[in-house]
Amino acid sequence: MISEIFGECIKTLRSWKRNPILIFIGFISPLLFTTIFIQSFTISEDLSWEVVVVNQDEPIISGSWTEKLIISLESREGTIPYFSVIIYDLDAAEMMLQNRETFVIVIIPDGFTYNISNNEPIVIQVKINNIHEDLSKNLRLGLEARIYQFIQNNQLSTGDRPGYMIHSTLLYTEELARSNYMVSGLLVFITIFVSMLYGGILGSEEKDKNTWKEILMVNNGSSFSILGKLLATLMITSIYVLIILIISMIFYNFSFPNFESIIVFGTISLGLTVLFGLLGVLYGFKVGDFRLIPAPTIIFTFLMWFISGALNPLEFMANSEIFKFSPTASATRIFTATFFGRGTQYLIEAYGIFFFWMILIVLPFCIWVVKIWKDSKINVNRDSQKITS
């Protein structure tokens, strides 16, 4: 039995090596998703929105209140988005807003310096292009954060100054950048995508190449073929996941915090590969046509990746009480807690959900493998008895 499975595995790996298109399909996906879904967020953290400031107060000089406000608006502390200030008159600023050359106008009113100096209330007028709700929300929150920072830095909320004071504490000393958080989701996605894609492609090649009849001529031939292709899928997936790890280490400073995290990563990745690789192989055997593999694989794995909380933490997504039961969601939570120490309160629950899927799918598979092994031994004994007789 072992020789038949390894023989099928080696045959499958040779077929994969001889087909550069198959190698390219699996290699390009990590690069695309790294560039689009992680690099784009990393780049956005370094970009800034242009804010047009219309100064109707006294001329801007060093140390003036208007200069302090502008410095606060351009601060790189706190939440994104960040802003860069350009100064125009009101007519030019409103024309830019209409033409979408800017999305924000901040008007510093006449008497701004006088009112602050004399403890009088001030009104800062802001005009925002609310072309859609996400943009306007982000701009409003960013501006409010910068104005609040201006109030705090200049102690305008203390003593007789008008304003307010908010005392806040952070659960963690440092915020986890979204690009780092998304590494967990990317590792999950690449594992399930590559394993299901190659499982399906390799599973379909027997019917595609008209070698299916030869497989059926051997006792348990189809079973040995499934197991061999699953083993080949495991090896191929390991190669691509290693590539993603190297990319993550180079571009996002990803690293394993301890030896335990390496064991966790290997165990969870192996479980996902077996689960989705087996699904892919069985699907490939069923359809027997390469053309029916890529599109369903992309749709299904992308959906599983999306609902797993790869873009945002699962608890911020709608219906997370349902999504959390997917194996990809539990794997993402396990990786995030293990690599970055975030979401550890869900760790035990995530392990429970993940291993429930492993027991539900992999245990029957293991029982089936044992049955094949026993049948194989019986057939070998029968053949040896025939030869002896």
What domains can be seen in the chain, in order of their start residue? 2-41+177-388 (no CATH), 49-156 (3.40.1710.10)
- pLDDT above 90: percentage of residues in the chain: 18
- Contacting residues for 221 by C-beta, under 8 A, at least 6 apart: 214, 215
Taking residues 209-234, what's their average pLDDT?
Answer: 70
If one compares 226 and 16, the residue with the highest pLDDT of the two is 226
Three-state DSSP class for residue 304: helix
- Contacting residues for 317 by C-beta, under 8 A, at least 6 apart: 307, 309, 323
Residue ranges of the alpha helices (H) in the chain? 2-17, 20-33, 40-46, 65-73, 90-98, 112-117, 133-153, 178-208, 212-216, 221-252, 259-287, 294-306, 320-323, 327-340, 347-357, 363-388
Asked which of 56-60, 163-167, 233-237 is least confident by mean pLDDT, the reply is 163-167
- pLDDT above 70: percentage of residues in the chain: 74
* Whether the predicted pLDDT of 129 surpasses 50: yes
| Mean confidence (pLDDT) of the chain | 79
Taking residues 257-281, what's their average pLDDT?
Answer: 93
* Whether the predicted pLDDT of 78 surpasses 80: no
If one compares 113 and 210, the residue with the highest pLDDT of the two is 113
If one compares 249 and 164, the residue with the highest pLDDT of the two is 249
pLDDT at 380: 46
Tokens of 163: 């304003």
* Whether the predicted pLDDT of 264 surpasses 90: yes
pLDDT tier at 331, thresholds 50, 70, 90: very high
Report yes or no on whether pTM surpasses 0.75: no
- For the stretch 312-330, pLDDT in tens is 777 777 667 788 899 999 9
If one compares 99 and 2, the residue with the highest pLDDT of the two is 99
pLDDT at 218: 56
**N- to C-terminal Cα separation, the chain:** 24
Three-state DSSP class for residue 104: strand
If one compares 305 and 16, the residue with the highest pLDDT of the two is 305
pLDDT at 81: 79
What DSSP letter does each residue of 122-133 carry, written as one string?
---EEEE--SSH
Q: Put residue 286 in one of left, alpha, beta given phi > 0 → left and psi -120 to 50 → alpha.
A: alpha
